[in-house]
Amino acid sequence: MMKLTECQCAKVSYLEDDELIKDTALRIKKKHPQITESDVTYLPRLKAAFEYANTIPLKEENTRRNFLLLETFYPDFYQNPEVDKWLRTPNGYSADQRLEDYKHVMINRERRRL
């Protein structure tokens, strides 16, 4: 069995995260062709959001992708103090569930044009 050093493990994790961000960006742009933001600004914005998501921490890959989807349509949404508090405050639900709840609130607000 091959053993990796801590530095090597960190590099593998970084590469996996980077691939997840790029793949998610590609999927979002394919599904929503109205997104025309250049990758020069779009990918670093998603990277910053992903780094924040890791501090919550979000565990499920699908939830991390949803976080990036929210960032796409609501830039810097997580920097709002109320959103940050909601995502970080343990209330009996996981951070993944709190994000899913927030996503549904935002979807419903869009549908009602609030």
Q: Comparing C-alpha atoms, which of 41, 47, 39, 63 is closest to residue 15?
A: 47
**Which single residue is written with the structure tokens 């549904």?**
104
pLDDT tens-digit readout, 24-44:
999 999 999 999 999 999 999
pLDDT of 8? 67
What is the residue extent of each domain of the chain? 6-112
Task: Give the whole-number percent of the chain exceeding pLDDT 90.
Answer: 73
Please check the confidence at residue 48 and state whether its pLDDT lies above 70.
yes
Query: Looking at residue 50, what is its pLDDT?
Result: 95
Q: How many angstroms separate the CA atoms of 26 and 33, rounded? A: 10
What is the C-alpha to C-alpha distance for residues 91 and 45, in angstroms, rounded to an integer? Answer: 29
Q: Which residue do the tokens 């979002």 mark? A: 28
Could you give the angle at the alpha carbon of 77 between the alpha carbons of 101 and 15, nearest 5°?
90
The predicted model scores a pTM of 0.87
